[in-house]
Amino acid sequence: MASVNDNQQAGLRRAFENFSTYRSTPDKALDLFAQARTGCPVPHSQELGGFHLLLTYEDVRAALMDWRTFGNGPHALRPIAEGVPRLPPIDFDPPEHTAWRNIFNAGINAKTADRIAPLVLADVANCIDRFVGKGECDLVADLAERVPMLALFHVLGLDEGSHEHVRRLTLALLASAADRPRFSQIFAQFAKFGKAEVEKRRIAPRDDYLTTLAEARIDGRLLDEEEIGAVTNSVLLAGHGTTVISMTNLFYEVLSRPRIKQALLADPGLIPAAVEETLRLHTPFFGLYRRVNADTMVNGTELREGESVYLCWQSANRDSTVFEDADDFRLDRDHSRHLTFGRGRHSCTGAATARMELCVALEQLLLRVPDVELIAPETVKAEFRGAETAAIGSLPARFKAQ
Ligand code: HEM
């Protein structure tokens, strides 16, 4: 691949000086990353307190695996989340991370997906029942925004009566990521609610994650109210928006490509490949931050202890030295390599659950409403929202009313 000359490199460096996802669009950012990967792979931005960006697949993967040099603490969402409570396990490094991670792994693991799959299937069916007679729907509001939150309620073990309360709290918390006093206020409500639920399970255990939390110990003692709140928050924050965005992207990618849609209708066994290819092409978070814990060199650039580094897995997943025709949607790839669920110590504990939700939602949609098509797919655009996510807000679709 052709490298850039000195002038082009200087131009790229300048282009990154004021880069942040708050000042760009997903399309512009992808274009800039593609140019930089070949000639300026570790640019620096002065925004948000200053940070380096790692953009190539190998640089991002290597940093994910090297937690000693690239630490998550004190905030993986730094600088966006500075000042808000640290969320376990993502905001911690070993040895604290290991203790928290064990608590998460005990309740959210590969078996979780199997346990809740029948419940997710029923939720998807209910959502489709509500719009199937109308001949049109918004696949975001009517399906993608509903299923992942219900799935997390099943993971936690929340009774239906509390769903609306927790849904409102979760959405309010997400919306207040940049408003620290409000975030802390909602966080406290969450903690109180979580503690009360855990207390119920101490008296009458169930087969759910809140019961796991009721028995979980840190440093030999049971979790306190704030810690229970932090864990339940983490599950809801990590597992909701990410899966909503991915489900929306999946519907968009499949329904805006008639040949892919036909292939999946003819052979639903291809649906998992469509899910992985969507996840590779569109990471809900473009990336997250790390703190440099020791001076180091990456791809010819010196990084100093204490600096911030943005690990951009969205750019890594489009690296054409690893993925042939990286911007194309292809079902015939080795899908095990993308970095959408991270790698190493912090890799996503909910990956199996998220994959199951995406597969079930698309399978049911194609089965129940095979003629579904997007209205004006050419107008659909992803936009950056707070906290580094890139999302499509609405997907109007039509079909023959049943
Ligand atoms: C498509 C949906 C999802 C995507 C793309 C995604 C992506 C990720 C990524 C990239 C990380 C690593 C962050 C880092 O290295 O700093 C992560 C961590 C995490 N995810 Fe997910 N996630 C998804 C769904 C879920 C779900 C459904 C759950 C819960 C049921 C969940 C729970 C977590 C937790 C608890 C962590 C922190 C792990 C740790 O720090 O050790 N995620 N996720």
* Distance from C-alpha of 278 to C-alpha of 361, rounded to nearest angstrom: 14
Q: Which residue has the CA at smallest separation from atom 30 of ligand 1?
A: 350
List residues near ligand 1 (CB under 6 A): 72, 76, 89-90, 101, 104, 108, 152, 155, 234-235, 238-239, 242-243, 246, 284, 288, 340-342, 346, 348-350, 353-354
The mean-pLDDT minimum among 59-63, 139-143, 250-254, 334-338 falls in 334-338
CB 111 within 8 A of CB 208: no
Does pLDDT of 84 surpass 90? Answer: no
386 pLDDT higher than 60: yes
Dmax over CA atoms of the chain, in Å, equals 69
Indicate whether 58 pLDDT > 70: yes
DSSP conformation letters of 105-165: HHHSSHHHHHHHHHHHHHHHHHHHHHHTTTSEEETIIIIITTHHHHHHHHHHT--GGGHHH
Quick check: 207 and 166 in contact, CB under 8 A?
Answer: no
Ligand 1: residue whose CA is nearest its atom 41: 346
Q: Are 30 and 318 in contact (CB under 8 A)?
A: yes
Is residue 118 pLDDT above 90, yes or no? Answer: yes
User: Ligand 1 centre and the CA of 234: distance in Å?
Assistant: 9
In this structure, which residue's CA is closest to atom 36 in ligand 1?
348
Q: How confident is the model at residue 2 (pLDDT cuts 50, 70, 90)?
A: low
Q: Whose CA is nearest to atom 25 of ligand 1?
A: 239
Ligand 1 atom nearest 88 alpha carbon: 40
> Of 1.10.630.10, 3.20.20.140, 3.40.50.150, 3.40.50.720, which CATH number belongs to 6-398?
1.10.630.10
Q: With the C-alpha atoms ordered 223, 173, 282, 34, is the resulting torsion angle positive or negative?
A: negative
**Cα(239) to centroid(ligand 1), Å:** 6
Q: Helix crossing, 258-266 with 271-281: angle to 10°?
A: 150
- Residue 36's closest CA among 4, 63, 58, 83? 4
Distances from the Cα of 130 to the Cα of 126, 135, 142, angstroms: 6, 11, 8
Distance 240 CA to ligand 1 centre (A): 10
Q: Give whole-number Cα distances, 254 to 42, 326, 400, in Å.
A: 34, 17, 19
For tokens 């282009």, name the residue. 15
Higher pLDDT, 253 or 108: 253
Residue matched to tokens 């959405």: 171
Residue (of 268, 260, 95, 78) closest to 87 by Cα position: 78
Query: Dihedral, CA atoms, 336, 338, 340, 346, nearest 10 degrees?
Result: 70
pLDDT at 388 over 80: no
For residue 384, what are the β-bridge partners?
Answer: 390
Pocket test for ligand 1, best of 235, 242, 275, 312 (most atoms within 8 A of CB): 242
| Ligand 1 center–CA 342 separation, angstroms | 8
Per-residue pLDDT, averaged over 197-209, amounts to: 90
| Residues 99-117, mean pLDDT to the nearest whole number | 92
pLDDT value at 180 more than 80: no
Mean residue pLDDT across the chain = 92
> Which tens digit of pLDDT belongs to each residue from 344-364?
999 999 999 999 999 999 999
Asked whether the predicted pLDDT for residue 140 surpasses 80, the reply is yes
